[in-house]
Amino acid sequence: MSQDSDVVKNNNVLIIGSGGREHALGWKLRQSDIVQKIYFAPGNGGTFQNVNIQPTEIDKLAEFAKKNECFTIVGPETPLANGIVDYFVKERLRIFGPTRQAALLESSKEFAKQFMNKNGIPTPVFRAFSDPEEAKNYAVKQKTGLVIKADGLASGKGVIVCNNSNEAIDAIDRLMVKRECGIAGSRIVVEERLSGEECSFIVLCDSRTIIPLASSQDHKRVFDNDNGPNTGGMGSYSPTPIVDENLYNTIIKQIMEPAVKGMIHHVTPFKGFLYAGIMIEELTKQPYLLEFNVRMGDPECQPIMMRMKSDLFRYLESAINEELDSMLPIEWKNKFAVCVVMASRGYPLKYSQGHFIKGLEYDFGPEVMVFHSGTRRCSRNRVKTDGGRVLGVTALGDTIRMAVKAAYSVVHRISWGENEHYYRTDIATKYSSSGKPASFFL
Ligand code: AMP
Ligand code: GLY
């Protein structure tokens, strides 16, 4: 036991998932003075104490958490949509995340859009369809550009941004007729297309109180200058100068607070990370909500964790005890953090894996973390690629420009195969000439 009677390092943590987000959460929780062991199920080549249980094996995860007295944190959306929190709570296990019903905010786009409308949250106009012909008839009559979205979970591949009605018809066929995203496309949302800058705004919620995390921005398209298909995210940075104090207040008032109140009054209270994917509309400069996620973002989590000064575990514990109102705002380092995702060449389409990664043996210093996602540790501690998004090289800097430079200088020292690695060269560079945001409060 510690000398300080207040500090008892007696919390074991189980982190569910295998991405860069989970590695970053574990890295941050490791710094808590009240966390003892951290397990990952199933984890990746960068995480230790990996447990060979998949995120969908809810009963096995519960058994493990019970045996090892764990506080469980859920990374990805699928176990949340499958009701892992409901199951754990019934078993009297401590778990951080929303229930199955609350997770509908992410697992059904139609549910989320109806919820937004009912609670006055600004969002693009939409209609939902189960019949492809009806959807096409509607699409050809629209005067704006359209976005076609699978209603169900589709690992970031169920959204098709269209330039004209021919593309919209093709997208409807891909989702509803060819079923490119399987059952997720049996119902679709056809949405007005907006233009503008996007940002990710994530809060911690204990059902009544919200504590905002630092603002961030993802880079979703695979190629530089936002070209090519959407991916899970090719890089991110925090904070983003797009979210100044004024916009921050508008997002809280128009999106986050109505969402939390709406959940209490019309659905079920929301506990967990609530992630708003927001577009700042080009002409009006007003924020519109494109989507909710009911979890941390990946790769937004990586720079956010690098900047967090406070003890994350204490906040997660307060959230499940519904005591966030007694917590102070989270403290952040007055620095920028940039995460460049190194992917397998070909991602998000076909790619090869199983290549030994070179360069991980260097010590890159305290301001850089190489978070793993699609990796596997082999004999003699060597690490192989094992997925599309492989690493998230994340660096801190006093300005965006310095953080960008630091991240890319590490990226340039890491490689695998014969030119089998790929990364975008423009992560956060659009903003690297701007100084610090007017207010560095997030
Ligand atoms: P979502 O999963 O709904 O956030 O969509 C994924 C990405 O598709 C977003 O980050 C945007 O880049 C794009 N997108 C989604 N909805 C719209 C929209 N209504 N207008 C323009 N782009 C959109
Ligand atoms: N970076 C986008 C997401 O986590 O959904």
CA of 298 to the centre of ligand 2 (A): 5
Residue nearest ligand 2's atom 3 by CA: 297
Spatial separation of the C-alpha atoms in residues 234 and 219, rounded to whole Å = 5
Residues in the chain with pLDDT values less than 70: 1-9, 433-442
Structure confidence at residue 144 (pLDDT): 86
Question: Using CA positions, which residue lies closest to atom 4 of ligand 1?
Answer: 291
Nearest CA to ligand 1 atom 7: 159
Atom number in ligand 2 closest to CA 297:
4
Q: Could you tell me the distance, in angstroms and rounded to a whole number, from the CA of residue 44 to the centre of ligand 1? A: 29
Greatest alpha-carbon pair distance for the chain in Å reads: 71
d(CA 306, CA 281): 29
Residue 300 CB less than 6 A away from ligand 2? yes
Measured at the CA of 311, the angle between CA 308 and CA 312, to 5 degrees, comes to: 75
Q: In this predicted structure, what is the pLDDT of residue 436? A: 53
Question: Domain map of the chain by residue range?
Answer: 12-99, 125-192, 195-326, 336-431
Q: Where do runs of H (alpha helix) occur along 173-310?
A: 245-251, 257-266, 301-307
Q: How far is the CA of 288 from the centre of ligand 2 (A)?
A: 17
Whether residue 397 contacts residue 316, with contact meaning beta carbons closer than 8 Å, is answered with: no
Q: Whose CA is nearest to atom 5 of ligand 2?
A: 297
Indicate which residue's Cα is closest to atom 15 of ligand 1. Answer: 290
Q: Are 10 and 35 in contact (CB under 8 A)?
A: no
Whether the CB of 158 sits within 6 Å of ligand 1: no
Q: Measured from the CB, is residue 110 less than 6 Å from ligand 1? A: no
What is the reported pLDDT for 1?
39
Task: Identify the CA nearest to 15 among candidates 88, 73, 93.
Answer: 73
Give pLDDT tens digits for 172-205: 999 999 999 999 999 999 999 999 999 999 999 9
Instruction: Please check whether residue 274 is in contact with residue 256, taking contact to mean a CB–CB distance below 8 angstroms.
Output: yes
Question: Is the shortest distance between the CB of 233 and ligand 2 below 6 Å?
Answer: yes
Residues in contact with 410: Cβ distance below 8 Å, sequence separation at least 6, in sequence order: 364, 368, 370, 393, 395
- Measure 1 CA to ligand 2 centroid, in angstroms: 40
**Cβ-contact 39, 25 below 8 angstroms:** no
Q: Is 106 in the pocket of ligand 2 (CB under 6 A)?
A: no
Asked if 111 contacts 104 with a C-beta cutoff of 8 angstroms, the reply is yes
**106 Cβ below 6 A of ligand 1:** no
- Full 3-state SS string of 99-146: CCCCCHHHHCHHHHHHHHHHCCCCCCCEEEECCHHHHHHHHHHCCCCE
Ligand 2 close to Cβ of residue 198 (< 6 A): no
Report the pLDDT value the prediction gives residue 155, as an integer from 0 to 100.
Answer: 82
User: Which atom of ligand 2 is nearest to 236's Cα?
Assistant: 1
Is-cis flag, bond preceding 55, omega within 30?
no
User: Is residue 51 lining ligand 1, measured as CB closer than 6 Å?
Assistant: no
CA of residue 333 to ligand 1 center, whole Å: 30
Position in ligand 1 atom list of the atom nearest CA 277: 4
pLDDT on residue 435? 53
Considering the four listed CATH numbers 3.30.470.20, 3.30.70.1150, 1.10.10.10, 3.40.309.10, the one that applies to the domain covering 195-326 is 3.30.470.20
Fold of the 125-192 domain: Dna Ligase; domain 1 (3.30.1490)
- CATH of segment(s) 12-99: 3.40.50.20
If you take atom 18 of ligand 1, which residue's CA is the nearest one? 193
How confident is the model at residue 434, as a pLDDT? 55
Task: Determine which residue's CA is closest to atom 4 belonging to ligand 2.
Answer: 297
Domain 336-431 belongs to what topology? Glycinamide Ribonucleotide Synthetase; Chain A, domain 4 (3.90.600)
